[in-house]
A and B are shown apart, each in its own frame.
Chain A
Amino acid sequence: MSDQPAPQSLRTEAIEALLVERKLLTPEDIDTVLTTFSEQVGPMNGATLVARAWTDEAFKTRLLEDATTIIQEYGFEGGQVDKLVVKACTESVHHVVVCTLCSCYPWAVLGLPPRWYKDPGYRSRIVREPRAVLQEMGLTLPETTAIKVWDSSAEIRYMVLPLRPPGLEALDETALTALITRDAMIGVAAIEQRA
């Protein structure tokens, strides 16, 4: 990074000043955004659902049938989710989510999308060569695993229920939650067992 502020930063500052003068924006509005998306809305919400689905078969069934009702029950908010659909990975099927036209993403369960999800590389390539892209991202799938790509072209948002790795029987829901990453719920990573 150079010391010069980005042109976008200066233009933002200019518009911000004009909007503040017109009483359409306050500095507190910006602080609220920072707090909301740094502390309240994030992948921990999705991880809570995944850990419970891994340990509670009836909950998993409900999650796959009607995730929208479940996130309402949990009170997960943050916009961008009128309807949530959860797709469960199995030994034979892997799911991965994208939005090629913009950057639609299930904010209420995963927070704001990471930079790579919004950039041209992922958006152009994951619908053309998902197996190669996933491998480049560090996820090598067996040849026998089929890939299903979900391009979020309307208002339905998709989240992936990752495969539960074997050997975690001793862990409770809280300990499991800590293993579940944002990237696994987008479908670009597997769950890793940390020692």
Chain B
Amino acid sequence: MSTTPRVGSAVAGKPSHIGTARAHTPELTAIFDEMYATLLGQGIVGMEIKEAMRLRNARMNSCSL
């Protein structure tokens, strides 16, 4: 696991993080985020259940973000 960013920032003057790294592919990132928003923000499964699943998934994958 890396302790330093593997992708530089695509935003001038901003440090590298997940947001500025994804900015290297702005069109793809926008479409991904549209799908993610559809997944999270709509439908009959409540937000609390979705957030609990998201956090459980993050914990199982040891994702600190």
Instruction: Decide whether A and B are members of one complex.
Output: no
- B positions within 8 Å CB-CB of A: none
- A positions within 8 Å CB-CB of B: none
